[in-house]
Amino acid sequence: MSKLSFEFPDGSVKEFEQGVTVEDVAKSIAVSLAKKAVAGKIDGQMYGINEPLANGGKIEIITKDSDDGLKVLRQTASQLLKAALADQFVGIEFGESTSDEDGFFVDTDKKDTQVSADELKPLEDKMRKMVKNNVSIERKVLSKEDALKQVDGDPYQAKLVNKLANGDEVVFYQIGDYLSLGEGVVLPSAKDVKEFKLLSVAGAYWEGKSSNPMLQRIFATAFYKKADLEADLKRRQEAKERDHRVIGNKLDLFFVDPKVGAGLAYWMPNGATVRRVIERYIVDKELANGYQHVITPVLMNLDAYKTSGHWAHYREDMFPPMDMGDGEQLELRPMNCPSHIQIFKHHIRSYRELPMRIAELGMMHRYEKSGALSGLQRVREMTLNDGHTFLAIEQIKEEFKRILHLMVEVYKDFDIENYHFRLSYRDPKNTEKYFDDDEMWNKSQSMLKGAMDELGLDYVEAEGEAAFYGPKLDVQTYTAMGNEETLSTIQLDFMLPERFDLHYVGEDGKEHRPVMVHRGLVSTMERFVAYLIEVYKGAFPTWLAPHQVKVIPVSMDKHGEYAKKVNNKLTALGIRSSVDSRNEKMGYLIRDAQTNKVPYTLVVGDDEASSDKVSVRRYGEDNSTELSINDFVKNIQEDISNYSRKNK
């Protein structure tokens, strides 16, 4: 029998007998390594710790302290959960079960009622009993025919068998009396699945398609160490408290109702106020920085997107064209750049007009799959804070610096400090995704890199993250929970001016091709508001808060008129103020103002009315301060004009 040859990460090579396991290989290196080993990778493919190996190759021992090791644990936990569910609910059907960096989930379907949150604790108890008894998990390989017989009656599992079959072989795991379809490598027994938690249930469409049945998804997580589980549960609680969807509902900021349109946000008065303040700020900032604001239609002839390349590259993310019946096809725009190109083309342009800066709060539509939609962060209709500059090649570096300076100013006003820069390049091997012009890419990428080096800014370089038409600088920030996302971008584009045959008349009287710079300061209004809700936990700084002041009379009968006088003075100055005239106890009204995160609560009674004063209580504070109306006005106006910065 021929031997198997394995190459280790350090370059060394060893030979083993046929049928050797990953555990055997690990023991040959060190007993301590074998104790930590949970699986192996051979030429990138995962194998179970005690699975007989038939082929050699480059081998990597997967240990508990690695990401892959954690994935193995969670895949094992998902199998135990399926076994517990099958035992608890006779005839239950299973969709997908998978693990990722956030935990694992199992999709289920029941004929009567779906699994409820109340039933998670008994399921946990069943799983813990398996762990305590160290139930073995035996890997079995069935023929495809036998596998289909095994899952007969479960339409979801039958489809998964066809999907997961490796030729005529399908992996199952025997857990007690239950034979579970294998979706990934698992541990040989339940003993290490000690630290886990079943978290929640939610609806999920089969295969992520809204046209398919709605299944019940059980979310869970698992770790090897108790401390890691406790830290994760604490993080999840913090995330729940900051979840913009939860806060948005509590503060009546927005809602999304699938019955009237999945992924379409309805902005309530409170949320619309926050958004309007941001929009006015952005427009004023851009006008002061030389941008000309425009308004362009959300519909455009499909031919424009064919010319731009969006149709070829992003067709799956665009809504179907609307046939107008006369040969014209209109498309809901997924991007604003072709619209701004039309603004530039509408007149003959001179070199004297360059750089020509065009900006818009442009509404766009993208077809996001139902399973990907999430509050304001993933929507089908969005308004992008968009800008395009048309300029000469020699103006690129200066304009790049100018845009970057504007971004930093905006970040300062919104108190955004935790961010870094990423230069995003094309992947030269991916000729399908990226515009095929080596000279253009080399020139534009070197220009952006040169500008960043000249500015002395630190950055990371990321191949394969560019737009299809050019490289870009991405400003990467972090959500309140530490997740990285792109907030702003500057993109250099030589391609679209070529495709749309753009020209300007140079100083020499001849036609020249401009370069185009795409930039977004704060992403879409939807995503930016979601980001701010989570950063502030809904307690917006005064300048952004939907309600800046709540005036509460001790007695509406005795002090109502004075409360209205104070309120009228504030509203006349543009301060968002209102009187709480409800017939409730004053303590309740003050607590309600705090619950709704109003920055300033003003209480007025006999003393205040007789001396033109107000009792001022800041959000989050227990004590009040008595001020004259004029002094309070001065303080709050300073707070607003300073963008409520912490360091004044």
Binding-site annotation: residue ranges for Zn(2+): 337, 388, 518
- Between CA 250 and CA 538 the distance in angstroms is 9
Q: Which burial class, exposed, middle or buried, applies to 351 when counting CB atoms under 10 A from its CB (0-12, 13-18, 19+)?
A: middle
How far apart, in whole angstroms, are the C-alpha atoms of residue 359 and residue 23? Answer: 61
- Residues belonging to the binding site are 337, 388, 518
Beta strands in 252-335 (DSSP E): 254-256, 265-267, 292-293, 299-301, 322-323, 329-332
Q: Quote the CA–CA distance of 358 and 291 in Å, as a whole number.
A: 5
Q: At what angle do helices 67-88 and 120-132 cross, to 10 degrees?
A: 110
Phi, psi at residue 448, to the nearest 5°?
Answer: -65, -45
How crowded is residue 583: how many other Cβ atoms within 10 Å of its Cβ?
5
* Amino acid, res. 502: L
- Is the distance from CB of 106 to CB of 97 less than 8 angstroms? yes
* Residue that is written with structure tokens 């095929």 in the block: 436
Classify strands 515-524 and 484-493 as parallel, antiparallel or unpaired: antiparallel
Give CA–CA dist 304/70, Å, rounded.
48
What is the Cα–Cα distance from 405 to 395, expressed in whole angstroms? 16
Maximum CA pair distance of the chain?
Answer: 103
Question: Taking a C-beta distance cutoff of 8 angstroms, is the pair 402, 289 a contact?
Answer: yes
The tally of CA atoms less than 13 A away on the side-chain side of residue 389 is 24
CB atoms within 10 A of CB 63: 17
Is the bond preceding residue 355 a cis peptide, omega within 30 degrees? Answer: yes
DSSP notation for 194-260: -EEEEEEEEEEEGGG-TTSPEEEEEEEEEESSHHHHHHHHHHHHHHHHH-HHHHHHHTT-EEE-HHH
- Phi, psi at 434, each rounded to 5°: -110, 140
Scan for tokens 């100018």, then name that residue: 402
| Residues in a beta bridge with 331 | 300
Residues 6 or more apart whose CB falls under 8 angstroms from that of 206 comprise 95, 107, 156, 212, 213, 214, 215
